[in-house]
Amino acid sequence: MSALARYFNAKGYEVSGYDRTQTVLTKELESEGIVIHYSANIPLVENLPTETLIIYTPAVPEDFEEFVYFKNNGYRMMKRAQVLGEITRESKGICIAGTHGKTSTSTMTAHLIYQSNVGCNAFLGGVSKNYDTNLLLTSTLTRICNPCADNVGTDCKSAPANDLEFVVIEADEYDRSFHQLSPYMALITAVDADHLDIYGSKNEFKKGFEKFASLVKPNGYLIVKEEIELSVHPSLPLGKLGGAFTYGMNKGDFHAENINIENGEIHFDFVTPTETIPNIQLGVPVLINVENAVGAMALAYLAGVSPEELREGMKSFAGIRRRFDFQVKTDKIVYIDDYAHHPEELRASISSIKTLYPNKKVCGIFQPHLYTRTRDFMDGFAETLSMLDELILLDIYPARELPIEGVSSDIIFDKATIKNKTRATKENLLELLKNKELEGVLVTFGAGDIDTCVPKIKEMLTEKQNIEHID
């Protein structure tokens, strides 16, 4: 939603909106001139002309006062995905979907193409640390034009003719939103079941991704993680596509070979169906990023990014806010903040941490997201969180949902087999941490409002241990 707000703001429209909680991101939007309010305000929205376009996320409850007002008073209302769908129909959409990995992969893809001679716009689900935004607009933001090595706009005569041809979009499966898109290229990272409150079953969830795959335009490209089996709708057979490929960390049409982890760096060779590009260095040296990088480079490679541009782009990739985001990094204590909120995301993140720091104790703070997700995956959460050396479990962040009887963080806590575990609240978390002898790796997990705790934890660790922190 914030990327679309920035998009229309950059085009000169007056943009305002509602959010439930003030965050770092909403403060940034306000500093950019976007007006935000944090409680229902009917007198305010009554002043909006009826020709105002209302863009909403399906996460907003249908009985929310402002939503009801707009619906009953003739405003033009579009879901976020419908607006993105219009954008993909006007350009070559590169759409990345999946239960997990899509934000990292889409942000890498956007960076690889944006910094190259190809160029792109991008609507991302996370804030790129290279650009400090989740929106990239080649038409309004300057970029490096390699032919003349100057910062230029789109009127540069030496810039490529297809400067605005591609748009990178993170494709959201919630509420079947990604079915609104018209991809030229589609990549699927994972189809581990989620959002069963919408899909009803694992099989229907998988069918949702099969439908998304079938939407690829004729002569486009479909890239799927090698272990995923999908059947595309018979009316749109894969034979219509320009190409259908697989990818993976160490197998698939696109994959990595000669992975080398040494001195805090990760290098590998990128294998394509036609050539091998040697010595790729990951800018964010986390093992899970090898797989994400392979998917991103596959898309960029097919979009025309050169081998040297791929190599430079991966090396300069700085990461994403709240995706394996290092906050403090010293010999004694490492603090990481991560958006993981699904059992498989947690498994990938914890495994990567243990690979990076095999001799350090890992303490994880987890805030479950949604009552339905907690209910549907409590066994998976308990199993993956038991991979930690210590667990601090917070209350559920409800987001759009009302409480479900018998569903709380306790059902995960009771099933977790880890011995060193503690229940806590957001309110007493900081005091709990202050009284601990913290060393090793501390990590915060969750998609709710746990991010509001991150600056306080970072500050506490800095003061407590008199250390320099990472900006």
pTM, entire model:
0.72
Closest CA to 169 of 276, 82, 285: 82
Q: In this predicted structure, what is the pLDDT of residue 125?
A: 84
Bridge-based pairing of strands 390-393 and 421-423 is parallel
Going along the chain from its start, the domains and CATH numbers come out as: 2-74 (3.40.50.720), 83-316 (3.40.1190.10), 325-465 (3.90.190.20)
Closest CA to 131 of 145, 110, 151: 110
Residue with tokens 């099969």: 210
Amino acid residing at 256: A
> Using a CB cutoff of 8 Å and minimum separation of 24, what contacts does 225-233 make?
225/98, 225/188, 225/189, 225/190, 225/252, 225/291, 225/295, 226/251, 226/252, 226/255, 228/188, 228/190, 228/191, 230/188, 230/191, 230/206
Q: In this predicted structure, what is the pLDDT of residue 100?
A: 81
Q: In this predicted structure, what is the pLDDT of residue 160?
A: 38
Bridge-based pairing of strands 276-281 and 265-271 is antiparallel
Q: In this predicted structure, what is the pLDDT of residue 139?
A: 56
Amino acid residing at 346: L
Tens digit of pLDDT at every position of the chain (471 positions): 999 999 999 889 999 999 988 888 899 999 999 999 999 999 999 999 999 999 998 888 889 999 999 999 999 999 988 898 888 788 899 999 988 888 999 999 999 999 999 999 999 888 899 999 999 988 544 433 333 434 444 344 333 333 458 999 998 887 788 898 889 999 999 887 776 777 778 888 888 889 999 999 888 999 999 988 887 644 444 444 458 899 999 999 999 999 998 777 899 999 999 999 999 999 988 888 999 999 999 999 999 999 999 999 999 999 888 878 889 988 889 999 998 888 988 998 899 888 888 889 999 999 999 999 999 999 999 999 999 999 999 999 998 788 999 999 999 999 999 999 999 999 999 999 998 888 899 999 998 889 889 999 999 998 876 654 444
Instruction: Tell me how far CA of residue 112 lies from CA of 51, 184, 295, in angstroms.
Output: 38, 17, 12
Residue with tokens 């962040």: 397
User: Cβ(55)–Cβ(49) under 8 Å?
Assistant: no
Q: In this predicted structure, what is the pLDDT of residue 144?
A: 36
Amino acid residing at 325: D
Measured CA to CA, the distance from residue 356 to residue 261 in angstroms comes to: 9
